[in-house]
Structure 1
Amino acid sequence: MSVFDIIGPIMIGPSSSHTAGAARLGRMAKIIAGESIKSVTINLYGSFAKTYKGHGTDIAIVAGLLGLTEENNDLKDSFEIAKEAGLNFKICEMAKGASHPNTASFDIITESKNIFIEGCSIGGGNIVITRIDDFALNLTGKFNTLIIPHRDMYGTITKVTQRLAEDKVNIANMSVVRKEKGVSALMVVETDQKVSNTCIKKIETINEVNSVSFIPPL
């Protein structure tokens, strides 16, 4: 743990958990969605739901969904910017349903898909993405990260790691979860180096891979 995990990041707003962390949750959701967001329902749980108006949690999350960072002076105007950008959003207070008090979930609609993302703000501006659609995971945004939905077939993981090795990319952490044997799975690969577009395109050519999303460190 570093001193910045304790005192939090440079930011606009009163709270590292409820403002900076909230903005990072929104930004991570935008990156994971991978396409322009047409509309989003933002569900707030626990402490987020109780105090979001006073802490500006809703404003920060919308700012993140627009791609704004927590230190951006435009964060406070995110609702107006969203309206100008054509981003339709709705805030919902949820009475229960999350294990962590500072949890938000996103029901996102893009041009081509619907996607559900859930995460929590754990203090000092740090976040964890805990679910994408039906897949539970633990994504912190501290590493270069590849999110790879794919068919659950033997050899797929080897093919992905081979392409990373060819590009001299070292894997820091890796997890694979699946719905059921032989159907759909999700691979999350955190790396020490940035993954080049060339390497990403090579991974996308793997028959079992549905898509590849790259997330730089937040």
Structure 2
Amino acid sequence: MRVRRVVTTRAGGASRPPYESFNLGDHVGDDAGDVYANRKRLASELGLAEDKLAWMEQVHGRTATVVDGTETSAAEATDALVTDRPGVALVVLVADCVPVLMADPEAGVVAAVHAGRVGARVGVVPAALEAMRELGAEPGRVEALLGPAICGDCYEVPAAMAADVEKHLPGSACETRKGTTGLDLRAGLWRQLADLGVGRVGADPRCTAEDKTLFSFRRDGTTGRIAGITWLEEEKA
């Protein structure tokens, strides 16, 4: 089954500063009408019905929720969406956190995961992978994309925090460009996915803090959200 993956940028939307312009987050203080216009355009550009975009109320936890496209509102208090229904597009919103898009094309199962520092530390990616397994996915067949996120050169954190995350997500502690203690969540997640037996892992190398075509909370404070989206393409008759 064909898997589609898309990552948006901040260009081409209706939102005004400081959310200019393709902000897809409805929880960041942006005008609701502008966000709706952006989400409507997203569906149109993807060639999908608006009600086939599955959203979630991200809370930096480890809950994974299975959806089937019949939901009428965002999945509550979850940081991963999983589906085996073609045409249902799973959306994860980020502005420095790692969007993780996973798929087992053979089983026809996809997942979109919000893996920030807290969620990555507490195991949101393994939780999403387990939910995929329950729908028939096998780790060895899974393809994972780690989307744009703040890089280790830019993500400065206190030494104790880095040590704590490293304990739970080995490979994530690093040194920043300034020579201070930092975190490279994509590096830690890459290692975690490999240890879980995931067959293929790729990464979008863009840093949200460095690339001004992307939103970054660390860089700008009040700002919008880009999206990582994945879905199974419906087979044509």
Common fold: TM-score over 0.5: no
Which has a greater percent of strand?
A: 1
Query: Which structure shows the bigger proportion of residues in helix conformation?
Result: 1
TM-score after normalising by structure 2: 0.25
